[in-house]
Amino acid sequence: MAAPAPQRFTLPNGLRVVLAPDRSAPVVGVSVHYDVGFRSEPEGRTGFAHLFEHLMFQGSESLEKLAHFRIVQSSGGTFNGSTHPDYTDYFQLLPAAALERALFLEADRMRAPKITEENLRNQIDVVKEEIRLNVMNRPYGGLPWILLPPILYRTFPNAHNGYGDFTDLEQATVDDCAAFFDAYYAPGNAVLTVTGDFAVEEATALVEKHFGDVPAREVPRRPSFAEPAPTSELRGEHADPHAPLPALSVGYRLPDPVTDLPGYLAYVVLAGVLTDGDASRLQQRMVHREPLVTDVSAGCGLFGTPLDARDPDTFTCTAIHPREVPVERVVAALDEELDSLAAEGPTAEELARVTARWASNLHREHDRIISRTLALGSFELLHGRAELVGELPRLIAGVTVDAVAAAAKNMRPDTRAVLTVSPAGGA
C-alpha cells in the first residue's frame, strides 16, 4: 500500500476533516472520532461513555430509531462504533456511490441525536447484557483491561471500570445524557475522516453541505490524566469462578506516545520480542522449554492495540498457568528475560523478525479501507498527525537494539502492578 496522503481542512464550526482518496476500489470509509472516552466520564457514572455510544445509534430528531441501520445496510454497507480510553468512534464502509448518505447520517446525529427515556432504559439493558456476556460470565473476563488498572493507577479516570458498574448505569438520566452530548459532542471536538474512492473537490463540497450548518459549541478543555508512576510493586487479587486455571497480568507504565513516540515504539518492539510468534522469548521459555504457562501474551495498550490512547498508557504481560506452577515462578521467569534483554538487548535476528512482522501487519491492516479510515482518524485526533499511518512501518523498522534494551531496563519490579486471578475451586 502506498502511504496515504491525507488532506485536511477545518469547517467554521470547528470540525476537523481528513480526506484520503484511494481510487483502487469503488468503496468509501467514513468515520467520526469524538475526543471523549471512558477516562472523561464523571465519577458515579462509570460506563457512561460506552452507554452514550449505544445511544447515538437510536435515531435523531429527523430520523426514526433504526433508520441509520436500515439506510447503511440497504446501501450495501456496514457500520459500528467503539469506545476507547480517550475517544469514541463511529464508522461505516459503503459503496462509493453512497458517500453522501454516510455523511448525512453522521452529520444528522452530530446535530441532534434522539435521547429519550425509552431509548436510555433500553440501551442500559443492552449494555448490562453485554457486560454479563463479555465479562461476568466469561472466563478471564475483563483481564487485563478492567481488572489491572485499579491496581496500577490511583486516579478515578485511569483506574475505574470503563465498561460500567450496574448501579452507575441504572442511575443515568436523560439530563445526564444531554449534558454529556453538549459537553463532548460538539463539532469542534471531533475529526471526520473520509477514505476511498472519491474526488477531493466533490467530497469537500458534500462535507460542507451536510456538516457546515451543525451549530458550533464550546469545546471542553482536555484535562491531563497524567499521574505519578508507582515507586513500589503493587499487588492485587481477583477470584474468577469461571476460570479453569490460574492467571496473572503484569502491568507497567509506558512513555507518553504523543511526546515520546520513539520511546513508546521501543516497548512495542519489546512486546514482540517477548511473545510475538513461536520463536519469541517467553513462548520458547514458558511454553516449550520449562513449561510454565499454557498461554502468554504481551503488548502495549489495555486493549492490546498500541497508540490507542494518550498518556498514561499501559504495557501488559498476561499469562495463564497450571495450578501446580506458583505465580512467583512465572513472574521470576519474566524478570529474568527482561534482565537479559536489558543487559544485551535482542539479537539482530530477533529485532529484524519482529520489525518485519510489524511492518507487514501494518501494511496488510491498512490495505483495508475501514482500518485505514479509523487509523487516520485516531492518529489525527490523538497526535494531530494522520500521516503516522504511512510512517509507522518505517518508524518501527528504525527501533534499535539499544532502545529495546533501555525499555526492558525500565520494567523493574518496583514500577509494576501484578494481578493474580484465582480460578474456580481456588488455586
- Please, is 340 exposed, middle or buried when counting C-beta atoms within 10 Å of its C-beta (0-12, 13-18, 19+)? middle
310 part of a folded domain: yes
Which residues, 6+ apart, have CB-to-CB distance to 394 below 8 Å? none
Q: What is the DSSP string of 105-140?
A: HHHHHHH-B---HHHHHHHHHHHHHHHIIIIITSTT
327 part of a folded domain: yes
pLDDT attached to residue 3 = 44
* Residue 30 covered by a domain: yes
Angstrom distances, CA of residue 158 to CA of 40, 90, 258, 378: 9, 23, 17, 19
Q: Point out the domain boundary residue: 163, 178, 211.
A: 211
What lies within 8 Å, CB to CB, of 358 at 6+ separation is 268, 269, 272, 393, 396
Question: 348-367 vs 369-383: helix axis angle to the nearest 10?
Answer: 110
From the CB of residue 387, how many other CB atoms can be counted at a distance below 10 Å?
A: 18
Pair (81, 136) in one structural domain: yes
In a domain, 216, yes or no: no
Strand order in the sheet with 416-422: 234-239, 416-422, 247-253, 314-320, 295-300
Specify whether 102 is located in the same domain as 32: yes
Rounded Cα distance between 352 and 335, Å, is 23
Give the C-alpha separation, 136 to 239, whole Å.
12
In DSSP terms, 193 is beta-bridged to 18, 31
Residues 179 and 256 in one domain: no
Range of the domain at 338: 234-422
Domain end residue (candidates: 142, 177, 211):
211
In sequence order, the 6+-apart residues with CB closer than 8 A to the CB of 283 are 275, 277, 296
C-alpha 239/C-alpha 65 separation (Å) is: 40
Q: What is the pLDDT of residue 142?
A: 94
Assess if residue 220 is contained within a domain: no
User: ∠46-50-54 over CA atoms, to 5°?
Assistant: 135
Q: Is the same domain home to 354 and 285?
A: yes
163 in the same domain as 93: yes
Phi, psi torsion values for 235, nearest 5 degrees: -125, 145
What the block records as the C-alpha cell of 277 is: 510468534
Q: What share of the chain is helix, strand, coil (3-state, %, to 5)?
A: 45, 15, 40
The type of residue at 99 is: L
Does some domain include residue 427? no
Which pLDDT does position 1 carry in this prediction?
Answer: 44
- Per-residue pLDDT for the chain (427 aa), expressed as one digit of tens each? 454 579 999 999 999 999 999 999 999 999 999 999 999 999 999 999 999 999 999 999 899 988 999 999 999 999 999 999 999 999 999 999 999 999 999 999 999 999 999 999 999 999 999 999 999 999 999 999 999 999 999 999 999 999 999 999 999 999 999 999 999 999 999 999 999 999 999 999 999 999 999 999 999 999 999 999 999 999 999 999 999 999 999 999 999 999 999 999 999 999 999 999 999 999 999 999 999 999 999 999 998 899 999 999 999 999 999 999 999 999 999 999 999 999 999 999 999 999 999 999 999 998 999 999 999 999 999 999 999 999 999 999 999 999 999 999 999 999 999 999 999 876 6
| Domains in the chain, number | 2
What is the reported pLDDT for 403? 98
Query: Is 1 among the domain residues?
Result: no
**181 close to 335: Cβ distance less than 8 angstroms:** no
- Please, are residues 190 and 15 in contact by the beta-carbon 8 Å criterion? yes
Question: Does 172 map to a domain?
Answer: yes
Q: 343 and 205 in one domain?
A: no
* CATH code where residue 238 lies: 3.30.830.10
- Report DSSP letters for 364-392, one per residue: HHHHSHHHHHHHHHHHHHHHS-TTHHHHH
260 shares a domain with 343:
yes
Q: Looking at the structure, tell me whether residues 148 and 245 fall in a common domain.
A: no
Task: Using the 3D structure, point to which of 178, 211, 244 is the last residue of a domain.
Answer: 211
Handedness of CA 355, 356, 357, 362 (dihedral sign): positive
Amino acid at 34: Y
* Same-domain check for residues 20 and 159: yes
DSSP state of 155: S
Could you tell me if 180 and 326 lie in one domain? no
- Could you tell me if 65 and 171 lie in one domain? yes
53 and 194: one domain? yes
